[in-house]
């Protein structure tokens, strides 16, 4: 443990009125060859894929993985209060949820390395995508197809307030529209609790709110939201993409099955990178100059499938030059 980390741990401990046992700190920093994962929602594809990638690399390095689910407020409070992984692990990987100031202080008490996977968190080494860039790829694609009335279905997890994916993706939408000279219309924006069925309701709301100015395209913050929107559109008799184009983010396995245009991210690869950040932090490679890497931005790419097409007016004969003049 570096002197700086030690000082930080002790300072935090004093403030929290803790007595830190030197033995415990040594033990916690010792070679348990175990790594803890704190994960909000194991049953969701993103998290399963991430944990799978982390496990593959760490088990090959003969590390064991301790799994802690911290999705709900109770689990989360319990995890940070009891610190069940304390003295049992060499490192903790925090998977895609925001760690608040108090929780950071609790983690510091463990005296172990912390890595953030699937999102940036405090000053921990991290791997994640650039949410703004992912959003721009999606919205710019719709703009290039000639869409100007573009709805957005954003999502938040009420149990993880402040998670940066939503503001990043939303800012991309606002900027892309603004740069294209399109006023942001709040009647076309909904922010829902995570989940496809909520997105289906949000889509119905949007259609009902402005029946005379229905959107010709929808940008959903994730593929599951996009599939929810598509359900509503289909039930209203709207054709995809003839009447409405829909784009998501993730490239969930069902996106290929449902012909959904989306922004691809490799979540498994992010998990593998997070695991390598753990290994490198615990045992810095002698050949690496400049020390341990602390930030990896995983690539995102637009994957065009059948759920997006030219804006309806672009398909009229008079708009035959659409392909030559993408906006």
Positions in the binding site for its own copies (CB under 8 A): 34, 37, 41-45, 47-49, 51-52, 55-56, 59, 62, 64-69, 75, 78, 84-85, 88, 195-197, 200, 224, 227-228, 231, 253-254, 256-259, 268
Contacts of 140 (CB under 8 A, 6+ apart): 176
Q: How far is the CB of 194 from its own copies (least distance, A)?
A: 11
Q: Smallest distance from the beta carbon of 152 to its own copies, in angstroms?
A: 19
Q: Which is nearer to its own copies, 253 or 291 (CB)?
A: 253
Residues contacting 196, CB < 8 A, separation 6+:
224, 225, 227, 228, 231
**How far, CA to CA in Å, does 270 sit from each of 163, 229, 279?**
18, 28, 14
In angstroms, give the least distance from the CB of 15 to its own copies.
27
101 Cβ contact partners less than 8 Å away, ≥ 6 residues apart: none
Tokens of 294: 């602390």
Kindly state the smallest distance separating residue 199's Cβ from its own copies, in Å: 9
- Is the Cβ of residue 242 or residue 259 nearer to its own copies in the bound state? 259
Distance from C-alpha of 63 to C-alpha of 238, rounded to nearest angstrom: 52
Residue 45 or 132 having the CB closest to its own copies: 45
Sign of CA dihedral 105, 107, 110, 116: negative
Nearer to its own copies, 149 or 190 (CB): 190
C-alpha closest to that of 204 among 170, 180, 245, 235: 235
Question: What is the three-class DSSP state of 41?
Answer: coil
**What minimum distance in Å lies between the beta carbon of 197 and its own copies?**
6
Closer by beta carbon to its own copies, 66 or else 298: 66
Q: Smallest distance, Å, CB 72 to its own copies?
A: 9
Q: Tell me how far apart the alpha carbons of residues 285 and 292 are, in angstroms, rounded to a whole number.
A: 8
Pick 116 or 267: Cβ nearer its own copies: 267
């Amino acid at each position: 443990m570096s002197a700086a980390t030690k000082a930080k741990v002790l300072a935090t401990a004093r403030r929290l009125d803790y007595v830190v046992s030197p033995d415990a700190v040594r033990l916690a920093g010792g070679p348990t060859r175990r790594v803890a994962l704190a994960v909000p929602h194991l049953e969701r594809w993103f998290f399963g894929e991430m944990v799978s990638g982390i496990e593959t690399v760490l088990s090959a390095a003969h590390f064991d993985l301790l799994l802690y689910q911290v999705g709900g407020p109770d689990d989360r409070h319990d995890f940070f209060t009891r610190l069940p992984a304390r003295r049992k692990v060499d490192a903790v990987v925090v998977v895609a949820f925001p760690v608040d100031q108090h929780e950071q202080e609790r983690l510091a008490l463990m005296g172990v390395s912390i890595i953030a996977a699937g999102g940036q968190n405090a000053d921990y080494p991290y791997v994640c995508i650039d949410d703004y860039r992912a959003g721009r790829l999606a919205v710019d694609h719709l703009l290039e197809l000639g869409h100007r009335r573009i709805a957005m279905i954003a999502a938040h997890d009420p149990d993880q307030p402040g998670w940066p994916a939503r503001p990043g993706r939303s800012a991309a939408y606002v900027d892309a529209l603004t740069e294209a000279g399109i006023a942001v219309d709040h009647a076309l924006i909904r922010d829902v609790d995570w989940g496809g069925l909520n997105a289906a309701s949000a889509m119905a709301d949007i259609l009902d709110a402005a029946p005379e100015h229905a959107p010709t395209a929808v940008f959903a913050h994730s593929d599951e939201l996009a599939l929810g929107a598509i359900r509503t559109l289909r039930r209203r008799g709207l054709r995809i993409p003839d009447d409405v184009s829909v784009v998501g983010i993730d490239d969930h396995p069902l996106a290929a099955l449902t012909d959904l245009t989306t922004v691809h991210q490799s979540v498994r690869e992010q998990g593998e990178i997070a695991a390598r950040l753990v290994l490198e932090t615990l045992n810095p490679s002698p050949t690496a100059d400049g020390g341990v890497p602390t930030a990896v931005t995983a690539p995102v790419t637009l994957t065009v499938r059948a759920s997006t097409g030219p804006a309806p007016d672009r398909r009229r004969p008079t708009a035959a030059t659409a392909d030559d003049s993408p906006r």
